[in-house]
Structure 1
Amino acid sequence: MKNKKKKRSLFEKISTLSFLTLIPFVIFLIYVLTSVFRETNDEVELPKIMIKDIKNVRIAIDEYYRATGTFPNLELVNTDEKLEQIFFEQDGERIYFKDFLKENTMPSTPSYKKLSKTNKVTIVTSFSKPTNDGGWNYNIKNW
Protein backbone atom coordinates (compact mmCIF):
# COMPACT_ATOMS: atom_id res chain seq x y z
CA MET A 1 0.00 0.00 0.00
CA LYS A 2 1.20 3.42 -0.90
CA ASN A 3 1.38 6.13 1.67
CA LYS A 4 -0.81 9.01 0.68
CA LYS A 5 0.57 12.36 1.63
CA LYS A 6 -1.92 14.62 3.23
CA LYS A 7 -1.85 18.15 1.78
CA ARG A 8 -1.04 20.73 4.37
CA SER A 9 -2.98 23.97 4.55
CA LEU A 10 -1.35 27.35 4.13
CA PHE A 11 -1.39 28.06 7.85
CA GLU A 12 0.31 24.78 8.56
CA LYS A 13 3.05 25.61 6.07
CA ILE A 14 3.80 28.97 7.63
CA SER A 15 5.50 28.68 10.93
CA THR A 16 4.02 30.42 13.91
CA LEU A 17 7.06 32.67 14.22
CA SER A 18 6.91 33.92 10.65
CA PHE A 19 3.17 34.47 10.97
CA LEU A 20 3.65 36.55 14.11
CA THR A 21 6.28 38.70 12.40
CA LEU A 22 3.87 39.29 9.54
CA ILE A 23 1.24 40.87 11.81
CA PRO A 24 3.28 44.01 12.73
CA PHE A 25 4.20 44.46 9.07
CA VAL A 26 0.54 44.37 8.02
CA ILE A 27 -0.39 46.83 10.78
CA PHE A 28 2.40 49.17 9.65
CA LEU A 29 1.27 48.89 6.03
CA ILE A 30 -2.31 49.76 6.98
CA TYR A 31 -1.07 52.77 8.98
CA VAL A 32 1.02 54.07 6.06
CA LEU A 33 -1.80 53.65 3.56
CA THR A 34 -4.35 55.41 5.77
CA SER A 35 -1.89 58.28 6.33
CA VAL A 36 -1.42 58.71 2.58
CA PHE A 37 -5.17 58.72 1.93
CA ARG A 38 -5.78 61.13 4.82
CA GLU A 39 -3.26 63.59 3.34
CA THR A 40 -4.93 63.28 -0.05
CA ASN A 41 -8.31 64.05 1.51
CA ASP A 42 -6.90 67.20 3.17
CA GLU A 43 -5.51 68.37 -0.17
CA VAL A 44 -8.93 67.83 -1.74
CA GLU A 45 -10.76 69.69 1.05
CA LEU A 46 -8.49 72.77 0.88
CA PRO A 47 -9.72 73.93 -2.56
CA LYS A 48 -13.33 73.30 -1.53
CA ILE A 49 -12.90 75.57 1.51
CA MET A 50 -11.18 78.25 -0.56
CA ILE A 51 -13.83 78.18 -3.29
CA LYS A 52 -16.63 78.46 -0.72
CA ASP A 53 -14.95 81.44 1.00
CA ILE A 54 -14.13 83.18 -2.28
CA LYS A 55 -17.72 82.71 -3.43
CA ASN A 56 -19.15 84.11 -0.17
CA VAL A 57 -16.84 87.15 -0.18
CA ARG A 58 -17.50 87.83 -3.88
CA ILE A 59 -21.28 87.63 -3.38
CA ALA A 60 -21.04 89.97 -0.38
CA ILE A 61 -19.00 92.49 -2.40
CA ASP A 62 -21.51 92.37 -5.27
CA GLU A 63 -24.53 92.76 -2.97
CA TYR A 64 -22.86 95.65 -1.11
CA TYR A 65 -22.13 97.34 -4.45
CA ARG A 66 -25.73 96.92 -5.62
CA ALA A 67 -27.04 98.36 -2.35
CA THR A 68 -24.62 101.30 -2.10
CA GLY A 69 -23.18 101.94 -5.56
CA THR A 70 -19.65 101.72 -4.12
CA PHE A 71 -17.24 98.91 -3.46
CA PRO A 72 -16.33 98.21 0.16
CA ASN A 73 -12.91 99.35 1.36
CA LEU A 74 -11.74 95.93 2.52
CA GLU A 75 -8.35 97.36 3.49
CA LEU A 76 -10.08 98.41 6.72
CA VAL A 77 -10.26 94.70 7.63
CA ASN A 78 -6.62 95.06 8.70
CA THR A 79 -7.55 97.54 11.46
CA ASP A 80 -8.75 96.83 15.00
CA GLU A 81 -12.44 97.41 14.31
CA LYS A 82 -12.29 95.20 11.23
CA LEU A 83 -15.67 94.86 9.50
CA GLU A 84 -17.35 97.40 11.78
CA GLN A 85 -15.59 100.21 9.89
CA ILE A 86 -16.78 99.13 6.46
CA PHE A 87 -20.11 100.82 5.95
CA PHE A 88 -21.95 103.20 3.65
CA GLU A 89 -23.99 105.98 5.21
CA GLN A 90 -27.01 107.38 3.43
CA ASP A 91 -29.75 109.53 4.95
CA GLY A 92 -28.45 108.75 8.44
CA GLU A 93 -28.69 105.01 7.86
CA ARG A 94 -25.58 102.83 7.79
CA ILE A 95 -25.28 99.84 5.50
CA TYR A 96 -22.59 97.51 6.85
CA PHE A 97 -20.55 95.17 4.68
CA LYS A 98 -20.59 92.55 7.47
CA ASP A 99 -24.36 92.23 7.01
CA PHE A 100 -23.80 91.08 3.43
CA LEU A 101 -20.89 88.85 4.42
CA LYS A 102 -23.05 87.39 7.23
CA GLU A 103 -19.98 87.07 9.47
CA ASN A 104 -18.31 89.28 12.07
CA THR A 105 -14.82 88.71 10.69
CA MET A 106 -13.36 88.27 7.26
CA PRO A 107 -12.83 84.56 6.53
CA SER A 108 -9.20 83.47 6.68
CA THR A 109 -7.45 81.87 3.79
CA PRO A 110 -6.30 78.40 4.88
CA SER A 111 -2.66 77.67 5.59
CA TYR A 112 -0.82 75.88 2.81
CA LYS A 113 2.86 74.95 2.65
CA LYS A 114 4.77 78.16 3.56
CA LEU A 115 1.68 80.38 3.72
CA SER A 116 0.03 80.79 7.09
CA LYS A 117 -3.69 81.12 7.74
CA THR A 118 -4.64 84.80 7.61
CA ASN A 119 -7.49 87.15 6.80
CA LYS A 120 -5.21 90.05 5.84
CA VAL A 121 -6.45 92.07 2.86
CA THR A 122 -3.88 93.50 0.45
CA ILE A 123 -4.94 96.18 -2.03
CA VAL A 124 -3.42 95.36 -5.42
CA THR A 125 -3.53 97.03 -8.81
CA SER A 126 -2.80 93.87 -10.78
CA PHE A 127 -3.82 90.32 -9.95
CA SER A 128 -1.01 89.01 -12.17
CA LYS A 129 1.52 90.02 -9.49
CA PRO A 130 0.98 87.72 -6.48
CA THR A 131 1.73 88.94 -2.97
CA ASN A 132 2.85 85.49 -1.76
CA ASP A 133 1.87 86.19 1.85
CA GLY A 134 -1.54 84.54 2.08
CA GLY A 135 -4.70 86.45 2.77
CA TRP A 136 -6.89 88.22 0.25
CA ASN A 137 -5.83 90.33 -2.72
CA TYR A 138 -8.36 93.05 -3.49
CA ASN A 139 -8.65 95.75 -6.13
CA ILE A 140 -11.11 98.54 -5.39
CA LYS A 141 -12.82 99.69 -8.56
CA ASN A 142 -14.33 103.14 -8.53
CA TRP A 143 -16.72 103.49 -11.47
Structure 2
Amino acid sequence: MNVSKIKIFNFSLIPVLLLATLFFISIAKSDNSDIDYARKMMNDIKHLRISIDSYYLKTGEFPDLALEGAKDDLTQIKYKFDNGEEINFAAIYGAETLVATPEYKNLESTNQVYEVSKFKDISNNGGWNYNKKTGEIHINLPYNFFDQGMDWNSF
Protein backbone atom coordinates (compact mmCIF):
# COMPACT_ATOMS: atom_id res chain seq x y z
CA MET A 1 0.00 0.00 0.00
CA ASN A 2 1.47 3.29 -0.94
CA VAL A 3 1.37 6.50 1.09
CA SER A 4 -1.19 8.31 -1.10
CA LYS A 5 -3.81 5.55 -0.59
CA ILE A 6 -3.32 5.71 3.18
CA LYS A 7 -3.82 9.52 3.20
CA ILE A 8 -7.01 9.24 1.11
CA PHE A 9 -8.32 6.53 3.42
CA ASN A 10 -7.60 8.63 6.54
CA PHE A 11 -9.24 11.74 5.11
CA SER A 12 -12.32 9.86 3.91
CA LEU A 13 -12.72 8.26 7.33
CA ILE A 14 -12.91 11.64 9.12
CA PRO A 15 -16.38 12.61 7.81
CA VAL A 16 -17.72 9.15 8.60
CA LEU A 17 -16.41 9.36 12.17
CA LEU A 18 -17.78 12.88 12.51
CA LEU A 19 -21.25 11.79 11.37
CA ALA A 20 -21.20 8.79 13.70
CA THR A 21 -20.23 11.03 16.61
CA LEU A 22 -23.03 13.48 15.84
CA PHE A 23 -25.50 10.59 15.59
CA PHE A 24 -24.56 9.23 19.02
CA ILE A 25 -24.67 12.70 20.58
CA SER A 26 -28.19 13.25 19.19
CA ILE A 27 -29.34 9.93 20.63
CA ALA A 28 -27.90 10.80 24.03
CA LYS A 29 -29.66 14.17 24.04
CA SER A 30 -32.95 12.88 22.61
CA ASP A 31 -36.21 13.50 24.41
CA ASN A 32 -36.81 10.65 26.83
CA SER A 33 -39.93 12.21 28.33
CA ASP A 34 -41.93 8.98 27.94
CA ILE A 35 -39.37 7.11 30.02
CA ASP A 36 -39.02 9.97 32.50
CA TYR A 37 -42.81 10.24 32.97
CA ALA A 38 -43.15 6.50 33.51
CA ARG A 39 -40.23 6.41 35.96
CA LYS A 40 -41.63 9.38 37.88
CA MET A 41 -45.10 7.81 38.06
CA MET A 42 -43.62 4.57 39.39
CA ASN A 43 -41.78 6.51 42.11
CA ASP A 44 -44.90 8.55 42.91
CA ILE A 45 -47.13 5.50 43.36
CA LYS A 46 -44.51 3.78 45.49
CA HIS A 47 -44.18 6.83 47.76
CA LEU A 48 -47.95 7.22 48.00
CA ARG A 49 -48.48 3.56 48.92
CA ILE A 50 -45.78 3.69 51.58
CA SER A 51 -47.40 6.82 53.04
CA ILE A 52 -50.85 5.18 53.08
CA ASP A 53 -49.44 2.11 54.82
CA SER A 54 -47.56 4.26 57.36
CA TYR A 55 -50.73 6.21 58.15
CA TYR A 56 -52.61 2.93 58.61
CA LEU A 57 -49.94 1.50 60.90
CA LYS A 58 -50.07 4.61 63.08
CA THR A 59 -53.85 5.10 63.16
CA GLY A 60 -55.49 1.77 62.36
CA GLU A 61 -57.45 3.26 59.46
CA PHE A 62 -56.70 4.28 55.91
CA PRO A 63 -56.58 7.98 55.02
CA ASP A 64 -59.61 9.44 53.25
CA LEU A 65 -57.79 10.64 50.13
CA ALA A 66 -61.12 11.18 48.35
CA LEU A 67 -62.22 13.71 50.98
CA GLU A 68 -63.50 16.91 49.34
CA GLY A 69 -60.53 19.26 48.85
CA ALA A 70 -57.98 16.88 50.36
CA LYS A 71 -56.07 16.39 47.09
CA ASP A 72 -54.96 20.02 47.30
CA ASP A 73 -54.70 20.19 51.09
CA LEU A 74 -53.60 16.91 52.63
CA THR A 75 -53.51 18.54 56.08
CA GLN A 76 -57.29 17.97 56.14
CA ILE A 77 -56.66 14.25 56.52
CA LYS A 78 -55.91 13.67 60.18
CA TYR A 79 -56.58 11.22 62.95
CA LYS A 80 -57.05 12.31 66.53
CA PHE A 81 -56.32 9.86 69.33
CA ASP A 82 -58.25 9.84 72.63
CA ASN A 83 -55.26 11.44 74.39
CA GLY A 84 -55.42 14.43 71.99
CA GLU A 85 -52.43 13.43 69.88
CA GLU A 86 -53.00 14.03 66.19
CA ILE A 87 -51.57 12.26 63.15
CA ASN A 88 -51.64 14.23 59.91
CA PHE A 89 -51.37 12.50 56.53
CA ALA A 90 -49.51 15.47 55.01
CA ALA A 91 -46.71 15.04 57.56
CA ILE A 92 -46.37 11.36 56.70
CA TYR A 93 -46.58 11.97 52.95
CA GLY A 94 -44.11 14.85 53.11
CA ALA A 95 -46.21 17.31 51.10
CA GLU A 96 -49.46 19.22 51.47
CA THR A 97 -50.63 18.47 47.92
CA LEU A 98 -51.11 15.08 46.32
CA VAL A 99 -48.87 14.54 43.30
CA ALA A 100 -50.60 14.76 39.93
CA THR A 101 -50.40 12.54 36.91
CA PRO A 102 -48.65 14.44 34.10
CA GLU A 103 -50.21 16.29 31.19
CA TYR A 104 -49.51 14.01 28.26
CA LYS A 105 -51.17 13.13 24.98
CA ASN A 106 -54.87 14.01 25.38
CA LEU A 107 -55.00 14.05 29.22
CA GLU A 108 -54.62 17.06 31.48
CA SER A 109 -52.46 16.93 34.58
CA THR A 110 -54.62 16.10 37.61
CA ASN A 111 -54.33 14.89 41.18
CA GLN A 112 -58.02 13.99 41.41
CA VAL A 113 -58.76 10.95 43.58
CA TYR A 114 -61.61 8.71 42.47
CA GLU A 115 -63.01 6.48 45.19
CA VAL A 116 -63.69 3.04 43.75
CA SER A 117 -64.77 -0.24 45.24
CA LYS A 118 -63.88 -2.29 42.15
CA PHE A 119 -60.86 -1.41 40.08
CA LYS A 120 -62.74 -2.54 36.96
CA ASP A 121 -64.94 0.58 37.23
CA ILE A 122 -62.37 3.22 36.32
CA SER A 123 -62.24 6.20 33.99
CA ASN A 124 -58.57 6.18 32.83
CA ASN A 125 -58.60 9.98 32.69
CA GLY A 126 -55.70 10.79 35.00
CA GLY A 127 -55.35 11.09 38.74
CA TRP A 128 -55.75 8.21 41.16
CA ASN A 129 -58.18 5.35 41.82
CA TYR A 130 -58.48 4.63 45.55
CA ASN A 131 -60.34 2.14 47.72
CA LYS A 132 -60.56 3.61 51.23
CA LYS A 133 -61.69 0.31 52.77
CA THR A 134 -58.54 -1.53 51.65
CA GLY A 135 -56.08 1.34 51.14
CA GLU A 136 -55.42 0.12 47.61
CA ILE A 137 -54.47 2.86 45.16
CA HIS A 138 -53.65 2.78 41.46
CA ILE A 139 -52.69 5.31 38.81
CA ASN A 140 -55.75 6.20 36.72
CA LEU A 141 -54.09 6.08 33.31
CA PRO A 142 -55.02 4.08 30.21
CA TYR A 143 -53.07 1.05 29.05
CA ASN A 144 -49.87 1.92 27.16
CA PHE A 145 -50.22 5.60 28.03
CA PHE A 146 -46.50 6.32 27.73
CA ASP A 147 -46.11 3.98 24.72
CA GLN A 148 -44.29 1.36 26.74
CA GLY A 149 -46.91 -1.39 26.84
CA MET A 150 -47.62 -0.84 30.55
CA ASP A 151 -50.98 -1.58 32.12
CA TRP A 152 -51.13 1.32 34.60
CA ASN A 153 -54.19 -0.09 36.33
CA SER A 154 -52.04 -2.90 37.69
CA PHE A 155 -49.64 -0.43 39.35
Specify which of 69, 93, 97 is matched with residue 101 of structure 1: 93
Deviations along 1:68-122, one digit per CA (max 9) or x if unpaired, are: 0000000126358621110000121210011110112111112221111111111
Aligned residue pair count: 125
Q: 1:83 aligned to 2:69?
A: no
Give distance in 2, aligned partners of 1:134 and 1:120: 8
Higher helix share: 1
Instruction: For 1:1-143, list aligned pairs within 5 A.
Output: 34=26, 38-39=30-31, 41-76=32-67, 78-79=69-70, 82-90=73-81, 91-141=83-133
Residues 100 and 110, structure 2, Cα contact 8 Å, conserved in 1:
yes
**Tell me, what secondary structure is at the counterpart of 1:74?**
coil
The alignment's C-alpha RMSD in Å is 3.3
Q: Which runs of 5+ in 2 are unaligned?
A: 10-18, 136-155
Q: In the superposition, relative to structure 1, how do residues 36 and 134 fare at CA in structure 2: closer, same or farther (>3 Å)?
A: farther
SS of the residue corresponding to residue 122 of structure 1 reads: strand
CA distance in 2, matches of 1:67, 1:134: 29
The TM-score, its normalising length taken from structure 2, stands at 0.65
> In terms of Rg, which structure is larger?
1
Q: Which runs of 5+ in 1 are unaligned?
A: 1-5, 11-25
Q: TM-score, normalised by structure 1?
A: 0.69
Dislocated runs of 4+, deviation >4 Å: none
